[in-house]
Structure 1
Amino acid sequence: MLNRFLFSKIDNSQLIIFRIFFGILVSLECYGAILTGWIRRTLIEPKFTFNFIGFDWLQPLPGFGMYYYFFIMGTLGVLIALGYKYRFAIISFTLMWTGVYLMQKTSYNNHYYLLVLISLIMCFLPAHQSHSLDVKNNANFKSDSMYAYVRWFIIFQLLIVYTYASIAKLYGDWLDFGIVRILMLNKASYPIIGGLLQEPFIHKIIGVSGILFDLLIVPALLWKPTRKIAFFASVFFHLFNSIVFQIGIFPYLSLAFTVFFFEPETIRNIFFKKKKPYLLKKAEVPSYKTVLLVIGGIYFLIQITLPIRHHFIKDDVLWTEEGHRLSWRMMLRSRTGTVKFQVVNKETGEKTLVKTKDYLSKKQQKRIAGYPDFIWQFAQRLKKEYAEKGEQIEIYAQNSKVSVNGKPYRPFIDPKVDLASAKWNYFWHNEWIFPSPTYKKEP
């Protein structure tokens, strides 16, 4: 049964059209980052970036280097769409996009992580075996079929994303629509819909539909009787997200994924009418079956466990942020904070308050006070700078307070802990973060 489910040969039209959509969209994302000033604001203007901890060596290229970097990525997207030197193009894009993802988190977005994963998956798929320049240059590449596991790999990845996104919304601030109201506040100036988005009944519709859509969209697309309804619901949902939240290509990438839910023949008839149909649908177990099942099993085990790791870390992830990233916890919180960094010279005892505006961009200044990893990384940056001047220092976060989802400000970072000497705990709780107001210590 497993062999028939995973290793039946089916028409590959779904994968081919997705490759084309994928290449076009990632090229637009990369070229758009240049034209909209995102690269300038995020990677060039800051004196340094808040990279993922452990990837300090990943820093933006100097001068106009990041413009060239994104231009190359955009061009690789074009090559992917055309199916030209596909393996080289998709592997190169995956490595470069992952580098950008790990390079900065001031503009963190879960969708950037999803693009890392989908790009990685695409590196191993035969997406260039039809309607590609690779086939035109070498007819031996051509094939009208693919293994069924190709589509199921994509579908299962999406099921994980949407299911965890739905489950994560089942908490107080989403269920009472408070966070939805906060998210809509800065949309008031939008023409036509701005005022409507401030209405409480709209917040209730968004809150309830957000949970239901994420939970049901994959099963509804898989089940033929509800597939068309689910597709049009998906179109509305993702266009709404595109207009209201302005998150680049990702609503359209999400729509591109829907090709894997329709029958291969349906996709072929819509996009490739002249393509030879593949109707055999026979199971052919490949020689690499065991390797595929082992690697695929490990990959999905990681994908399933990463989003629940915060349950094994002390305190509330909504407060500590520990275990938040890589877990599909999307649009769940709004954080603001205050903090002052006090530098103490170990030899003289001289105390100095650091002005963050002398080091950080405006967007970085807004982020730093609310996130513990940002606070710790900035302390390490100061430590390094003073060490280069021959000074040994201690660094304390003074008056550190955070407000989560509009609640009252609460003390956040222990002001008695020297952050210059503190270690960052990657996998467990960092004790210099004060407990959340709702956390109850074990007796």
Structure 2
Amino acid sequence: MTTAAVIGGAGQVLTEDEVTAFIGDALAGAGLEGRSVCVIVPDATRSCPLPLLLKAVTEALDGRASKVTILIALGTHAELTGEQLRKHLGADYPNVINHEWWKPDTFADLGTITPDRVGEISDEMLRDEVPVRLNRAVVEHDVALVLGPVFPHEVVGFSGGNKYFFPGVAGQEVIDLSHWLGALITSSTIIGTPGTTPVRALIDEAASMIPAEKLALSVVAQSGTDALHAIAFGDTISSWAAAAEISARTHVKYLEHPVQRVVSVMPSKYADIWTAAKGFYKVEPVVADGGEVILYAPHVTQLAAMHPEIEEIGYHCRDYFIGQWDKFRDLHWGVLAHSTHLRGAGTWDPATGEHLRVNVTLATGIPEDVVLRANLGYLDPADVDLDALAADPDTLVVPNAGETLHRLAHTFPAE
């Protein structure tokens, strides 16, 4: 692994000129002359000044790269329309494609990861052979350039880097296996964990099979703004590692004591609970036993636009599924993982049922019967008084929730 070039740091804010100059210099020295480049960018669920970044990248590649394709890393999120793409990217770029994960011909087969290797990576939590499929646009270019932010993440520890390939533009098999591995470890254990977690190791193993050269401009965004704290450039591992170290000192807030209730106020970029659930992941560690997390998102009207099966499965802890694995093993493991991530820690017993550490309440536009059937609490958003809740000493109101991780200082001492 090489050493990444870095500009900025925790507590700093870069100017637009600094951002543009750094990207220009980085790509000028990357040996891209005459080579085709696939630029992989996030969808609209991540904070970063993508129009500024993409403008700098395309200007640096103009006259240098033989071809440039922009690929939207949807994972399994909804595709962006033409108007949404213009707003998201900041301009009408040629050769922009959504990752059409629902179409089989989207993918190229890269091979398989053996059961023995999966067992080694996962500390024997899983022993499954996993086919590795990736959007063929990545394979058909000489260089794959990841462009996007790094934040604490509920499945992998910190997002970014090779995660933009898997699950960003990957086939269902790697998505399901990696997410279920994260669920087995549990979100509250893995989120914000520095270094190479088992899920990160699995993703890196899959990424090693990509024939294109893999580079990354990994950014550390000022959450909720269009500002950047830092940019790291290098291969997808060194760039990510440098940005994750800065994110750990930027996107984690430490509390001295647990709180009885957290109200996560979700911004509009989270269009359903599938994405707005980050308002739970990022605060679960600071909620007292028996406490409550309220996801306040009046604009949200669906649990999962692209995964309606979650309405039938509902939200349950990990042990609920493990204890009844024969019943659930044939469902998409990624959906099961999402279910456990939102429901948090708990136990399940065949005689006494499910026992959950934290209550989860939705104050959204989703009908009450849908919410209750999914094993969540319901609160009419019209009855939520954020000012009164903020004045309650037992309640923490988190504005613009979903990106800053909250931890207890005595459990994870601040660096």
Bigger helix share: 1
| Fold match (TM-score > 0.5) | no
TM-score per shorter chain, which class? under 0.3
Bigger strand share: 2
Q: TM-score, normalised by structure 1?
A: 0.24
Q: TM-score, normalised by structure 2?
A: 0.25
* Higher radius of gyration, 1 or 2: 1
